[in-house]
Structure 1
Amino acid sequence: MSYPASVIAQAFVERGIQEGRFVTQMKLQKMVYFAHGYHLAKYGEPLIIEKFEAWKFGPVVQDIYHTYKLYGSDPITDLYFLEEPVKEGWTKSLGASANDAINYTWKVTDPLSANELSRWSHLDGSPWAKVYTPEQSSNVIPDDSIKAYFQNILAEKTHEGADKS
């Protein structure tokens, strides 16, 4: 099942607030991107409904940007500004695969800074790098490209785990 990007973003913001490990908007965008890619690779379907666009600092969902832009580059420390329907319980109704993607992403990306995640999203051969052009920052990053990229990442992680056995 796919969800509005705002719901997945809210899940990360809520977790950051609960754990006292606040995320910035840039880090939030990359966390949602990572969770989406992980979900595509592991479950074969999109985590979010919206499409990512290739912006200067990496993959972006416009809805997330507009929702959290009031924070600029500061940590997101509360959700007081969200509309009531979003605030009340949307993240509690996420399915098992969505929660898996969120939990895995939190574990992997929490220790990394927004700049580290941005650099990671810019690597040669990444879905962002394949479509980004400075002249047009709204190129859509195809889900097929994101899925293939994350399937390779997960295969490498599985292979690394097997090598340690």
Structure 2
Amino acid sequence: MIVLALRYGGPVDDPKQPSQMKGPVMASVHDVAAYILAKRGEMTAMKLQKLTYYSHAWHLVWDERPLFAEPIEAWANGPVVPALYRQHRGKFSVSTIEGGDSNRLTQAEQGTVDAVVGFYGDMTAHQLSELTHSERPWADARAGMPAGARGSARITDEMMAFYYDSLTAKSTSS
């Protein structure tokens, strides 16, 4: 089991934090994907999906709020954000995301994505897919589905927060 053992040093005074703004602002999955691509360059669509998923999951643990609002589903090859999939459907590799603006991420959100990309970024798309298959959020959402079957079961924020937070508890108690 791989545990993301690093934690970024989040900002103290982030002027873009929602508490300091007139209305709630949340990055979109397209903004997060654009940020990942700006950091790592062109990659496979599958790898981009998995890095986006892990960014969202760890942000739930570290900042106790979602990174983006779009739902995540448990597809046969691992977690997928359908809204992002529609942007890269039919493409093996992706270098840009239409409508994504990496500048919309707050400093704290960038810190989460940087930590995730630093930890998972050298893994292949297949390795990331296999890793997600070994973890409870994807497995629980697909419970009862045959291997390889199409499905659109939702992986909830609660499932992700509970599971990934439990990994930090295990790593700190060792």
TM over 0.5: yes
SS in 2 for 1:70: coil
CA contact (8 A) 1:27 1:114 kept: yes
Distance 1:157 1:99, change over 3 A: farther
Letter in 1 for 2:156: P
CA contact (8 A) 1:2 1:45 kept: no
Instruction: Please report how far the alpha carbon of residue 37 of structure 1 lies from its aligned counterpart in structure 2 after TM superposition.
Output: 0.6
Q: Does 1:140 align with 2:154?
A: yes
C-alpha RMSD of matched pairs (Å): 1.9
Equivalent residue for 2:140, pick from 80, 105, 130 = 130
Instruction: Please report how far the alpha carbon of residue 110 of structure 1 lies from its aligned counterpart in structure 2 after TM superposition.
Output: 1.1
Unaligned 5+ segments in structure 1 are: 161-165
* Matching residue of 1:163: none
5 Å-filtered alignment, 1:105-120, equals: 105-120=116-131
d(CA) in 2 for partners of 1:7, 1:71 = 19
Q: Which structure has greater helix proportion?
A: 1
Equivalent residue for 2:165, pick from 119, 133, 151 = 151
* Matching residue of 2:104: 93
5 Å-filtered alignment, 1:39-118, equals: 39-72=59-92, 75-76=93-94, 78-79=95-96, 82=98, 86=99, 90-118=101-129
Instruction: Please report how far the alpha carbon of residue 39 of structure 1 lies from its aligned counterpart in structure 2 after TM superposition.
Output: 0.4
Instruction: Please report how far the alpha carbon of residue 136 of structure 1 lies from its aligned counterpart in structure 2 after TM superposition.
Output: 5.2
d(CA) in 2 for partners of 1:99, 1:157 = 23
Q: Spell out, residue by residue over 1:15-53, the C-alpha distance to the aligned partner (whole angstroms, 9 max, x if none).
A: 222xxxx32111111101101010001111000111100
